[in-house]
Amino acid sequence: MESPKEGREHPSLDTNAVIKGLIIAIEYAIVASLLTVASIVLVRTLITFLSHWGSFPQTVVAAIDGILVVIILLDIAHTVFGHLRASVFPVRPFLIIGILAGVRDILSASAHLTLSGTLSQEQFRDTLISLGVGVGVVVSLLLGLLVLRFATPSDVDVTSF
């Protein structure tokens, strides 16, 4: 005789497996989206750089900015893909991504100072504040990376949570 519980269970439909599969599909879609966006940004950056020779200093700064965005997107995609393969969430790559983003902001602010003809006192102050915050973020993240490196035993990888 069958128990009431046995009649209601569907061995082929495991809710946890369905949810896990859905999460994995979404993560792969995120990686594919990041790679698509990075490809588009790289192509547009190269096209803009090659088509605007007349304003060379501005296009160089814009090209470096675009390339740094591509590097950041690729690092995020690589980190998410690594999470899929290892089922851990690494901390170190996100510190490095943050450092790259901070360096990008510092570069943008310094290019704004250098390439802008005349700035009002308020624009100059805002740009300096942006530079200071960017440097502070980069130094903080570098210190975090340093602490992470020396705080973990060398034979155990505790760079994830």
d(CA 107, CA 151): 31
Number of domains forming the structure of the chain: 1
- Residue 80 domain-assigned (yes or no): yes
- Whether 45 is in a domain gets the answer yes
Does residue 35 belong to any structural domain of this protein?
A: yes
Residue 6 in domain: no
109-160 residue pLDDT tens: 887 777 777 778 898 888 889 899 999 999 999 999 999 888 866 544 444 4
Determine which helix (DSSP H) or strand (DSSP E) holds 22, and give its type and residue range: helix 15-51
- The pair of structure tokens assigned to 68 is 């740094």
Looking at residue 156, what DSSP letter applies?
A: S
Residue-wise pLDDT tens digits, 72-112: 999 888 888 877 777 676 788 888 889 988 988 888 888 77
Domain presence at residue 4 = no
Domain that holds residue 49: 15-151
Does some domain include residue 8? no
Whether residue 110 is contained in a domain is answered as yes
Between CA 60 and CA 45 the distance in angstroms is 10
pLDDT at residue 153, rounded to an integer: 62
Q: Tokens 């993240």 label which residue?
A: 141
**Dihedral, 26, 29, 31, 37 alpha carbons, nearest 10:** -140
Confidence check: pLDDT of 71 > 70: yes
pLDDT of residue 12: 56
Give pLDDT tens digits for 9-57.
555 568 888 888 898 899 889 989 999 999 999 999 999 999 987 777 7
pLDDT at 84: 73
What is the rounded CA–CA span in Å between residue 155 and residue 147? 16
